[in-house]
Each structure stands twice: as structure tokens, then as C-alpha cells.
Amino acid sequence: MNKLSRCALLCLAFPLSAMALAETPESWYAEGEAAIAKALALKPNQAKAKNIILFVGDGMGISTITATRIYDGQSRGGKGEENTLAWDKLPYTALSKTYNTNLQTPDSAGTMSAMMTGIKTGHGLISVNQKVALGHCASSRGNQTETFLEQAEQRDMATGIVTTARITHATPAATYAHAADRDWENDADLTHEARENGCKDIAQQLVEFSVGDGIEVVLGGGRRNFLPTSAQDPEHAESKGKRTDGRNLIDEWQAKTKGEFVWNGEQLSALEKTKSQANLLGLFSPSHMAYDLDRAQEQYSEPSLADMTRVAINRLKSHKNGFFLMVEGGRIDHAHHASNAARALGDGKALSDAVAQALALVDLQDTLVIVTADHSHVFTMGGYPARGNPILGLVHSPDQKGVRTTEPTLAADGKPYTTLGYINGPGYAEQASLAAREVAKPNPGRHLHQKVDTQQKGFFQESLVPLSSETHGGEDVAIFAGGPWAHLFHGTHEQHYIYHVMRYAAGFDSPASKK
């Protein structure tokens, strides 16, 4: 009996999930043979992609993916390391080089603009080329770069944007807006020079978007950028709009599109039951939406990223010419900036749930699904913890028999340490646990002790270099893909290559596709 035949018999008798529960040398070998059999059966799909879904985990570097995989697996009762996230099941993977034209370690504006326009650009710039000076409106004239979403609209595809960040934040903004400064989210943010030279803020550009028949679905946070300073937020009485021009852009969007507007989860759920196909705008928070671990504490419910993804796909997939949807897990990045691994991994898990939801609703025969990140973070994982050690916990190494020790492993200074940490950030000077503050004054250096609950969601991991906010990382990030032409992701690519794969897969370069 050859090895592949033996593998097939083993896989029938011992499903991989069962083998993971009773690991033996034989089960590991059988897993490897099963993976080879699966790889040999893989056939590239060269059909035209009717639909394209781009998932972006903002700040989701390789270490975040690994830690999220373990976190998700442990939340399901497993050891964690053997777990698979939704994108792990996609057949093709590659690496993406993320630098901006002027930064070794990039920002989200330049990186997402690269994915959306097919060229790299400078940091802080939204879908304009590198000739533009940051914050200088006049320099953007003639240097705007058409986005993939705009090109999809030109070809009568339906389009959608979903994010847990403000819908005017850098990553979603790069799909539909053009700006010399990512911070121009509402008119109050515009400089005098920008006003004098006729630049529009990002919220205004979204509402006045006029390519094709407009964006069909927009779901995220950021109500304040669409409301005037005189308007009270519907959820938070103390919160007002940010616009100084007196415009209520939500009202303007409804009048223009005859679409439906919602601002909480119950309203979105009710609309979903009607199976309406009208244009949809959902703004679920004045600023960014809640971290996934905090959604239950919100005064009014916020939909999960998976909920918003499901609603968006169901509204878009009936379109005869297909659709393009961008889904961002935007708050992975924000938690990392705070040196708060628990919330970063919680939002990473939420992104995996959203990818799983999408894969359940579409057919990879005609839908290209891409999962990637705009950049990484200086987030580390190490310390030789035993297999199955809580990913958010203190390091407990195995003893000589391979059994996890009951006492945490101590560093050279006699103090315990966590598996997860940051190279820089607020964890240097802040007390590690908000619930265990011992001094009102910041206490630089190592402050961790065994009684601190490092697994609570409010714990801030330690960092080496003191900064008020942890920074992005500059290393390559992963690309996972499945569906038509996903095999074009095959090695190490410049980040703007993602745009070119989407364009080729959708047939935008063929004569028949041009209108």
C-alpha cells in the first residue's frame, strides 16, 4: 500500500480533529500525508471572479495571527496551538512587503492606498500618489489615483465597505476617498490651505461619492464626522457632531440614495429580516466601534464584524454583475497601540469569525477571497511556555518530563513574565494591571508580580522602550487567498500587487469588461 493510500485510510478512520485530541507520532505523520494529498489535489481556478472580498486585519502581523489562533483555540477548550482560523483553510498564501515610499515602518493610509490603487505612496496619504506633500491640498491636484472600488462601480458592480473603525478612518477611506491628509475626516479637520484650494473632507467625499450608482453598503463607526456641532448623538447625550459647516451628511445621504440608515444592532437586525435590497448606511458609534470583548457592555447593541459582513454580502450578492466588498477588523491595531493584547486578540478572533461567515455565504468557484493586513506591530511571542499555556498568561515552562510547572518561570530579575509583549509602548511606565495599581506615579521598569491577573482584558503587556503609544512593525505580513486566480499569490510581493491580482481576477483588463 502506498503512502497516499495509507493516508486516506488513516484520515477516514481518524479525522484530523480527533487525532489532535490523541496526538501520537503516527497521528503527526498521518496529518502530514493528508496535507500532501490535499495539496496534490489542488487545481488553480482560472475563471473570472464575479465577486471579490478583501479582508484587512489592521495591524494583524504574523505574531498576532499565531497568538489569535491559540487564543481562539483555547477559548474553545483546546490547547490552542493545533487550532485553525478561518483564513488558515484558504489554499494559497504569500507575503506582502508593507513599506511606504517614505517610511520603512508604514502607516495604514499609505498601505491601504497601495492595496486599493496599485501603486505605493507616502504615509498619511489617502489614494493619491507619492508626489503629494502630506497636508498640502494643492499638491494633490492631478495626483489622485483611482481606486479598485471606483473601478468596480464603473463596471456596474455592487460595492460595500465594512469596518469596526470610523468609516472615515484611513483604511476604509482609501477605498473611496482621495486626500492629502488622512486626518481630514470632517470639515473641522481641514486646514486653511485645504479650504482655500477646494479639498473636501473624507466624510463629505463618502456622501458625495458619484462613481457608478454609488456605494451600496457602508457599515462602521464614526457618526460624529457626519453630524453638525449642533446635533446631539442619538446614543450618547453628551456627544455632539464635529462638523462646523452645519451639514447633516446622514440626512443628505438618505435624501440622495433613498436608502436606509441604522445606528444600532437592533435596527440592523430588524432590517436584515425584511430582506431589503436598498442602499444601507450603518454608523454604530460616534467614533470607533467597541472592541469585541466590550460589545456586551455597550448601552445600545453594536453588531459584530461577522454580523455586518453577513448583512453586506446578503445585500450585495444578488447583483447581476457581482460585487466588491472590503471588510476591516480595524481595532486590532488600536488595542496593539495601547499594548493591550487581550483586546487585540479578541478582535482578531472576531475577524476570523467574519471570514468564516463570508466563506459560508459565497462560492469560491466565482468569488475571490483575500485576507491580509496593512502592516504589523512590534508584538512579540516567546519565553518557552509549555504547550497549552494560556496565551495571555505568565510563562510556565515544562519540567524535565514535559509537564507544565505549577509556578511561573522567573526572569533574571526574579520576576515572572508573560508570553506576549511589546518592543515599545506604554507598558514600560504604566502599571501592568489597571486593577492592581500600587502607586499613582508611573513606575518605570519591570513591575510584574505573580498576583497580577495578566489574562484580564484590561491588562497592558510590558514593553522595553517607553512610548505613549506602541508603534507599527515593519516586517512582511501574510496574504491568504482562495477562489479565482488566488494562485497568483505565490511568494513575496510588494503590497500594491494585491490590487493587480484583484483587477486581473475580475477581468478589468479584458476588452469585454470595459464600458
CA gap 219, 202 in Å, rounded: 15
The string of DSSP codes covering 388-443 is T--TTSB---B-TTSPBPSSPPB-TTS-B-BSEEEEEEGGGTS-SBGGG---SS--
Q: Where are the alpha helices (DSSP H) in 136-279?
A: 148-154, 170-176, 192-196, 202-207, 249-257, 265-274
* Domains defined for the chain, CATH in brackets: 51-378+482-513 (3.40.720.10), 392-470 (no CATH)
Q: What is the reported pLDDT for 510?
A: 57
Q: Report, as residue numbers or ranges, the catalytic residues.
A: 108
Residues 6 or more apart in contact with residue 512 via CB below 8 angstroms: none
SS3 124: coil
Is the Cβ–Cβ distance between 19 and 30 less than 8 Å?
yes
Residues 412, 414, 420, 421, Cα dihedral to 10°: -70
Give pLDDT tens digits along the chain (515 positions). Answer: 444 444 433 343 334 444 345 899 999 999 999 999 999 999 999 999 999 999 999 999 999 999 999 999 999 999 999 999 999 999 999 999 999 999 999 999 999 999 999 999 999 999 999 999 999 999 999 999 999 999 999 999 999 999 999 999 999 999 999 999 999 999 999 999 999 999 999 999 999 999 999 999 999 999 999 999 999 999 998 999 999 999 999 999 999 999 999 999 999 999 999 989 999 999 999 999 999 999 999 988 999 999 999 999 999 999 999 999 999 999 999 999 999 999 999 999 999 999 999 999 999 999 999 999 999 999 999 999 999 999 999 999 999 999 999 999 999 989 999 999 999 998 874 444 443 444 334 445 577 888 889 999 999 999 999 899 999 999 999 999 999 999 999 999 999 999 999 999 999 985 444 33
Joined grid coordinates for residue 333: 491595531
Burial 177-214 (b: 16+ CB within 10 A, else e): bbbbbbbbbbbebbbeebeebebbbbbbbbbebebbeb
Is the Cβ–Cβ distance between 114 and 499 less than 8 Å?
yes
Is the Cβ–Cβ distance between 155 and 82 less than 8 Å?
no
CA gap 68, 373 in Å, rounded: 14
Beta bridge partners of 478: 95
Q: Which amino acid is at 20?
A: A
Q: What is the reported pLDDT for 427?
A: 84
